[in-house]
Amino acid sequence: MYPLISRFLGLVSFISIVAVSMFVLEKSFVFADSALVSEAKQNDPDANLKYLFTVFFLVWAIFFGYIFFLSRRLKEMRNEVAMLKKIISEKE
């Protein structure tokens, strides 16, 4: 069970690092006329679409990662139940 949790947390941390690096790289650019650019970004509703897409992607990635984790755990539990049934039937 623990390897699954560590893989899932590794995937979530990797996705988080990618998202944070996207924000850092975008903030590191210097514009010659930054006052006009920031005013244009405030008035433009399409300027924040990349943030919306990033959050949308992260939420869905975490959701599917969690579903994957649950499906693997369910498979392990089914195998354990089958093994226990086999052990009980052998004892009887």
pLDDT recorded at residue 34: 57
Residue 6 has pLDDT above 70, yes or no: no
| Mean pLDDT calculated for residue range 50-67 | 89
pLDDT recorded at residue 9: 67
For the chain, count helices (H), then strands (E). Answer: 3, 0
| Mean pLDDT calculated for residue range 8-13 | 71
Residue 88 has pLDDT above 80, yes or no: yes
Percent of the chain predicted with pLDDT > 90: 33
CA 77 to chain centre: 24
Helix (H, G, I), strand (E, B) or coil at 31: coil
Q: pTM for the complete prediction?
A: 0.49
**6-15, 33-42, 48-57: which is most confident:** 48-57
Do 16 and 76 contact (CB within 8 A), yes or no? no
pLDDT recorded at residue 11: 72
